[in-house]
Structure 1
Amino acid sequence: MGESYKVAVIGAGIAGLLTARELQRQGHHVTVFEKASKVGGIWVYTQRVETDPLGLDPNREIIHSSLYKSLRANLPRQAMEFLDYPFPKKQGGDDQRTFPGHEEVLRFLQDFARDFGLMELIQFGHEVIRVELVDEVTHEWVVESRTRENESTWESKEELFKAVVICTGNQSEPNIAEFPGRDTWPGLQMHSHNYRSPEGLENKIVVLIGNGPTAVDLLREISPLAKQVHVAVRTPGFQMPGVENNDNVWQHSMIECAHTDGKVVFQDGAIVDTDVIIHCTGYKYHFPFLKSNGIVTVDDNRVGLMYKHVFPPSLAPWLSFVGLINRSVVFRVMELQARWVAKVLSGTVELPSQEAMASSVEELYSEMEKNGIPKNLTHSLLNNEVEYVSWLAAQLNIKPLKRWKELTVVSIIGGGVHYGENFRDTWDIDKWMQEIDSSD
């Protein structure tokens, strides 16, 4: 089995649950810290929103979930199941759809945690406020967490661990669009993180910023109620799904500026009297609890230095991250990352030297710069998902499944474009998967 250590896992979402299972399988002693009262991370829906709808106030109470009430997965079940734990359509279940609603995904994660005995490893209601290396010789880490005793009183405690795995995700710290006049514009502004339903947007003139899956969903949901919806996108030539079929929807280039009289000016010259601006502009990596003496940094959404998006070379293997990646079939990637971390800690899989890992990271940065890839896409697997998944599988001596090369975020985006805005209901994924499995 190899070495056995006391390991802290921060977060009980998808990444945390997978990591806890793999660590336990390798014989490690696992404690999972979870701020919420249940497992699931971002898949736990709440009607609560933050007091600052843009998420700029550093003193606001953080609401972890970004779910809106109507959200459905934009990945099919087949892309969310694990290697040895399928995500079937349960006979008699409430949600039989291939692209299920968030309630069904949460049930899947809850079943997974229960079936693998993970619930007893989790300390619910424990918010981690400090993770810090306290002994460089023995590699001991302190994890300080706090629990709420009442409305105004917290109780803190400290515990020592040999290793820490950070699994807090990257969908709680909103990334806000920058444009002149944003801070003085008088209307309602919010980030999609704090959007729950279209209630209150009836007969309003709404501007959506962004062209990702969230913006597409919100456009579909808001446009039947709003007076007008104007979508601001950065990508030249991109056609937002749902714009052409709606008489009250217009697409523009990005916002040029906003005025105190309520007008919003777009870079294409359009001027719109606007009631509401919703920023569907993604999230920032944010680890306020991690005290690493500047070893782990976040610069323009690049978490560095990070070998293969998991290990900081100078702190490996005693500090690691699972789930930093984005624009991928994240369930599959996180499962392989979790297995890698667990096996590295047990000593059954070896890491390169610290120098070799650092050199690999610098080589990646240099290649990105040479190819004109912006720093904020460091952890995107949009163009190299198959290569990365295959590399992880090789480290673990797992033979890549045939469908791994076909079932990628790029192929799913392509299917969504082909089948249109209602792709979740019109795309026969089961037939597509059968064709993949039966191909040479």
Structure 2
Amino acid sequence: MTSKRVAVIGAGASGLTAIKCCLDEGLTPVCFERTSHIGGLWHYTDNPIEGQACVMKSTVINTSKEMMCYSDFPIPAHYPNFMHNSQVLEYFQQYSENFGLEKYINYETEVLHVKKADDFSQTGQWSISYRGTTSGADSVEETFDGVLVCTGHHAEKYVPEFPGLKDYQGKVYLSTRRGSWVLNRVGSNGIPIDLIFGRRPTLYLKSQFPFLSSKFSEFTVNRRFNHELYSLRPKHQIWSQHPMVNDDLPNRLITGSIKVKDDVKRFTQQGVEFVDGTREDNIDAVILATGYSFGFPFLAKEVVGVKENRVELYKLMYPPDLEKHTLAVIGCIQPLGAVMPISEMQCRLATRVIKGTTQLPPWGEIWSDVRLREAEMAQQYVTSRRHTIQVEYMGYMDELAVLVGCKPDFAALFKQDPLFSLKVWFGPVYPYTYRLCGPGQNKDAKQMILTTWERIKEPLQTRPMGDTLSSKPSQLKQSFVWFLVAFVVYKIFQLLSF
């Protein structure tokens, strides 16, 4: 029997794992990549192309390597915990080579349109038109059994309107509308911060006691530097906006090389006037850091419509009204965490749905989920274009894992190995966690989890230190203590409710 053919649009962080997941499920991937390389925005170039995002030359990843890797391919131990963008690209190349993905990629090929096949209601098939970007050949149209849209949400730059902006004669532009809570990459004891906060007890605290969780987190970040003293404190709580991760900003502020100003009112020919009435003249450079507008120009609006960065998708993946769920949008998310493992989990779900081994819920449940997500997002986050596709790493991964059937079974784990099950529950929610059981189970997942500390430690151990460093940090003990605190507070709230 011929395997189903799946079109993968884009060969970036999401497209590569889409190809891999297709192969895992016995599907035949055909990837279309309009550039000559893999990596998407992680492929730095000195000559960026309009409509195609690219990291800056200095960009360093904001999530640590153990929390951003694909679940069956750890990042090399000698790589730094927070990698430069060139090393992220190297990792993608290693991933592609290890699983033989490149032979499925059609480079310098642009997808023109994706539309339902004539018999879509029966077959779920899609008609795709594409052409080479350099050959000048005519477009080609083919039929596919499924489509994975892996173009991400960093494409067209968003430029807001400011009075006088067109007349301004500086080189580059910057605007900020509100203050921000600032996280740093390095947490207590020098541990990557996402390994401290990316734990199930933390998720429990945030979901059960959001106010207390926010206050504790604000207290923690203010211990590093007082946000109000530095004119950065916003009016909203810390988890009501996607936080900034920056290690250098406090040092720049205290040395005077950066000054925090209010929102921009208007631009003059050589300067800026702010809403508080102050102004700065003879400015050499202003950077307009206002994000991106995402969309899918090759898709009909009745399939996936985007308006002001708002889109209605089940699990931020599926157009709710499609008769057949054979098209999924991958990586169109703004996570508190890394995109890579989330995109992989989305692809694990999508390929199983296309194959027919996993079924999505009925139409009514799908729309209820869409509306509930919109309501929860509106309640938690300040109104902004960037908060329309926001997800929490752990909660969202668990949602998808339930549908895939790979959410960790802690009762079964406890029976097999009680100590390991506690490590998984109280420790960081590594991507490997979702390879311990269910479809896609990996026999090496347990060992990957047990050896994480060695990979965290290796790039830091650059000279002999004798026996002064313990083999493992005391994070398990800390997580257990915080869980007990949360449990006690929960019981107090229960008693007070009577």
* Counterpart mapping for 1:41-440 below 5 A: 41-50=40-49, 61-62=50-51, 64-90=52-78, 96-135=79-118, 136-137=120-121, 138-149=123-134, 153=136, 155-189=138-172, 207=174, 209=176, 235-236=234-235, 241-259=250-268, 261-273=269-281, 274-292=283-301, 294-303=302-311, 305-315=312-322, 316-327=324-335, 328-369=337-378, 373-374=382-383, 376=385, 377-381=387-391, 384-400=392-408, 401-402=424-425, 434-436=473-475
Root mean square deviation, CA, Å: 3.5
Residues 367 and 245 from structure 1, CA distance in 2 versus in 1: closer, same or farther, beyond 3 angstroms?
closer
TM-score (norm 2): 0.66
Relative to its length, the structure with more strand (as a share) is 1
Paired with 1:181 and 1:404, the residues of 2 have a C-alpha distance of 52
Q: d(CA) in 1 for partners of 2:280 and 2:232?
A: 15
Partner of 2:34: 35
Unaligned runs of 5+ in 1: 51-60, 91-95, 191-206, 218-230, 409-424
Aligned match of 2:438? none
Q: From the superposition, tell whether residues 324 and 48 of structure 1 become closer, same or farther in structure 2 (CA, over 3 Å).
A: same
What is the distance in 1 between the residues matched to 2:348 and 2:300? 25
2:436 paired residue number: none
Equivalent pair of 2:34/2:108 in contact (CA under 8 Å): yes
Give CA deviations for 1:194-237 in whole Å, capped at 9, x if unaligned. xxxxxxxxxxxxx45477899x99xxxxxxxxxxxxx9989458
Q: Distance in 1 between matches of 2:406 and 2:44?
A: 35
Whether 1:25 and 2:8 are equivalent positions in the alignment is no
In the TM superposition, residue 362 of structure 1 has moved relative to its aligned partner by: 2.1
Match of 1:203? none
The answer to whether the Cα contact below 8 Å between 2:180 and 2:233 also exists between their aligned partners in 1 is: no
Q: Distance in 1 between matches of 2:131 and 2:62?
A: 35
Secondary structure of the structure 2 residue equivalent to 1:345:
helix
For 1:431 and 1:407, the matched residues in 2 are separated by 22
After superposing the two structures, state which structure 1 stretch, 132-141 or 37-46, moved more.
Answer: 132-141
State the alpha-carbon separation in 2 of the partners of residues 144 and 187 from structure 1. 42
Normalising by structure 1, we get a TM-score of: 0.74
TM-aligned CA distance change 1:142 to 1:432, over 3 Å: farther
Where 1:86 maps in the other structure, the secondary structure is: coil
- Distance, in Å, in 1 between the alignment partners of 2:53 and 2:266 is 30
Task: Give deviations 1:264-299, integer Å, cap 9, x for gaps.
Answer: 11122220112322111221212111124x231112
In structure 2, list runs of 5 or more residues that go unmatched: 186-229, 239-243, 409-423, 432-458, 461-468, 481-498
What number of residue pairs does the alignment pair up?
369
The residue identity in structure 1 corresponding to 2:305 is T
Distance in 1 (CA, whole Å) between partners of 2:396 and 2:2 is: 27
Query: Are residues 407 and 243 of structure 1, via their aligned partners in 2, closer, same or farther at CA, if it must alter by over 3 Å?
Result: farther
Query: 1:436 Cα shift?
Result: 4.2
